Chain A
Amino acid sequence: AQKITQTQPGMFVQEKEAVTLDCTYDTSDQSYGLFWYKQPSSGEMIFLIYQGSYDEQNATEGRYSLNFQKARKSANLVISASQLGDSAMYFCAMRRTGYSTLTFGKGTMLLVSP
């Protein structure tokens, strides 16, 4: 079975600083996809960034980047220059080859302070 572990229930960061949100995964598959979603207090789930297991480069999307270490089975989200609007719950998720479904972690709550 696939498993996503997010060990940080909560993280605090000051505005304009960078923050790393941890995600480790457990799978025996060779091919899979990793996703990060943001859920602000308003409740919607917003797709942020995707990393394929065969991608040679770490994914980047604006201020978001994914620190992908395949051998360690980790896919940490890095947010550079944090903004107050980044305060939200962040979920890491994985999708297996040939399957449509995602396995989600329990999430990390990020609070950005002025």
Chain B
Amino acid sequence: DAGVIQSPRHEVTEMGQEVTLRCKPISGHNSLFWYRQTMMRGLELLIYFNNNVPIDDSGMPEDRFSAKMPNASFSTLKIQPSEPRDSAVYFCASSYHTPGGGKGYQPQHFGDGTRLSIL
């Protein structure tokens, strides 16, 4: 089975440019997560979607960041304008969330990440 697919794997761009990161979740998963990982702050949840609807975007740093999920098989994270402090590895993850919780929890499966460098 195909895992979570992220593109691009690496992105180097100049400050002020728009950056778009893409994610294709695992088929059948109904929850999608965007994370950012830096040495200083570790893994931070930026936003997550359930059934294509943004549920919690409290981790989004500021208005320069936006995320969309137009359908169950695609999501984007956009940074406009980009700044050097946005340099990080950005992960997308997906899972199947059982309504009502229950006693079993499905793990989140991560993509390989996008290593973003803003010069």
Q: How far is the CB of B113 from chain A (nearest CB, A)?
A: 5
Q: Does B77 contact A (CB under 8 A)?
A: no
Q: How far is the CB of A15 from chain B (nearest CB, A)?
A: 27
Candidates B91, B107, B112; contact of A47 at CB < 8 Å = B107
Q: Which residues from A are CB-within-8-Å of B43? A: 91, 104
Q: Which residues from A are CB-within-8-Å of B89? A: 43
Given A98-B101, A104-B43, A35 and B107 contact (CB-CB distance below 8 Å): yes
Number of interface residues, chain B, beta carbon within 8 A: 27
Q: Which residues from A are CB-within-8-Å of B48? A: 100-101
- A52 contacts B93, CB within 8 Å? no
Given A47-B109, A52-B105, A54-B103, A106 and B45 contact (CB-CB distance below 8 Å): no
Q: Which residues from A are CB-within-8-Å of B68? A: none
Indicate the size class of the contact surface on chain A.
20 to 34
Q: Which residues from A are CB-within-8-Å of B111? A: 44
Candidates A37, A43, A50, A102; contact of B115 at CB < 8 Å = A43
Number of A-B contacts (CB under 8 A): 53
Q: Which residues from B are CB-within-8-Å of A98? A: 100-101
Q: Does B70 contact A (CB under 8 A)?
A: no
Q: How far is the CB of B96 from chain A (nearest CB, A)?
A: 10
Q: Does A31 contact B (CB under 8 A)?
A: yes
Q: How far is the CB of B45 from chain A (nearest CB, A)?
A: 6
- A43 contacts B112, CB within 8 Å? yes
Given A101-B45, A104-B43, 12 more contacts at CB 8 Å? A31-B103, A35-B108, A43-B112, A46-B110, A47-B107, A47-B108, A47-B109, A52-B105, A91-B43, A100-B31, A101-B33, A102-B45
Chain A residues with CB under 8 Å of chain B are 31, 33, 35, 37, 43-47, 50, 52, 54, 91, 95, 97-98, 100-102, 104, 106-107
